[in-house]
Amino acid sequence: MGDGSSVVAGTGHGTHWTSDVTSTGRNLYGVHLFPDEEGWIVGDGGTILTSRSGGRWTPQRSGTSANLYSVSPAGRDTAWAVGRGGTVLATSDAGTTWRRQESPSGKDLLEVHVRPDARTAWAVGDRGTILVTGDGGATWTHQKPPRTDCILWAVDFADDRTGWAVGTGGAIFATEDGGASWHAQDSGGVDDLIDVHAVDPHSVWAVGHRGTIVSTVDGGGTWERRDSGTRQNFTAVHFDAHGRVGRVVGRSDTALVSYDSGATWQVTTTGTGMSLWNVRVLTQSRAWIVGDEGTVISTHDGGRTWTPHLYSPEKDAGSRRAARPA
């Protein structure tokens, strides 16, 4: 037994060792990585992890104990994270310091999307909450949703004006003017939608409960349900920059992949046994996934194998327990 909650078992008088037990770290919900695999992960208890050039994941001081559900950067140094009770955090120095921004809402914020100008961002959450800033978070204001009787789980924008938010009961809200006005679109179902990814202003994907995958190629004028091959609850969807390779993750170690722009999906598994909460597709062969109990895994071979990235939340957060005597 050792660092990162790792446990291995030996056979053949210790000539062969295999990993036997998964991590017992905090649940991780949000991940964003740049093409060179630098980025951030956020999760329970104010957890913020960062990696530079695909190296070891190390903690950053968030200054909060609130659960963080989403992180979105504008660049290498500037990012926002949102979470429980209207929490909004921002950094402009690559996470050396995270500062709390004043939020006009006390409701849980479940996802944030930041534009490359590092000034414009949207956050969504409970009771149809949609917040926007146009000044780097100095002020956040409410935007009016079509309904407030739903939880908005995710938001994504294809450009500075065109975006979508999705939520419970199959809700899809869309805007073409940066959120000055939002209108409802017909998802074709009532299953909760938990994530949305805009490949471009016309091609958008959303996933949710009971194996739901829906997509549009006309900006949401019509949404079409896709065959996922499973009834498991999905939590996240992401495509590569070309919209060719897509991955979906969900509860009970559910993982899907498409190599034909979502026309067909293959049901796979990562071998973690954990519920998976977010995925980032970097290329056809490279992707990262985060999930329950500190799960951080990556693949460099298209998902044939997944590499765990272990860390010790308590030790890395600064806990200095005495070493166990020999």
d(CA 305, CA 7): 19
| Percent of the chain surpassing pLDDT 70 | 87
This prediction's pTM:
0.88
Judge whether 294 and 24 are in contact, CB under 8 Å. yes
Q: What is the pLDDT of residue 316?
A: 43
Q: What is the pLDDT of residues 218-267, one digit of tens each?
A: 999 999 999 999 999 999 999 999 999 999 999 999 999 999 999 999 99
- How many CB atoms within 10 Å of residue 72? 21
Record the tokens describing residue 19, joined without a space. Answer: 């990993």
CA distance 103 to 166: 21
Regions of the chain short of the pLDDT cut 70: 1-24, 53-55, 311-326
**CA nearest 33: which of 207, 285, 289, 235?**
289
Q: What pLDDT, on the 0 to 100 scale, is given for residue 53?
A: 65
Q: Give residue 310's pLDDT.
A: 72
Q: CB neighbours (10 Å) of residue 179?
A: 23
**What are the residues whose beta carbons fall under 8 Å from the beta carbon of 107, sequence distance 6 or more?**
85, 86, 125, 126, 127, 129
Residue 313 has what pLDDT?
52
Answer yes or no: are the C-beta atoms of 161 and 149 closer than 8 Å: no
Supply the pLDDT for residue 64: 97
Bin 276: left if φ > 0, else alpha if -120 < ψ < 50, else beta: beta
Strand partners of residue 164: 156, 174
Place of tokens 């695999």: 37
CB-CB contact of 214 with 225 (8 Å): yes
Structure tokens belonging to residue 152? 């908005």
DSSP 191: S
Q: Is 256 left (phi over 0), alpha (psi -120 to 50) or beta?
A: beta
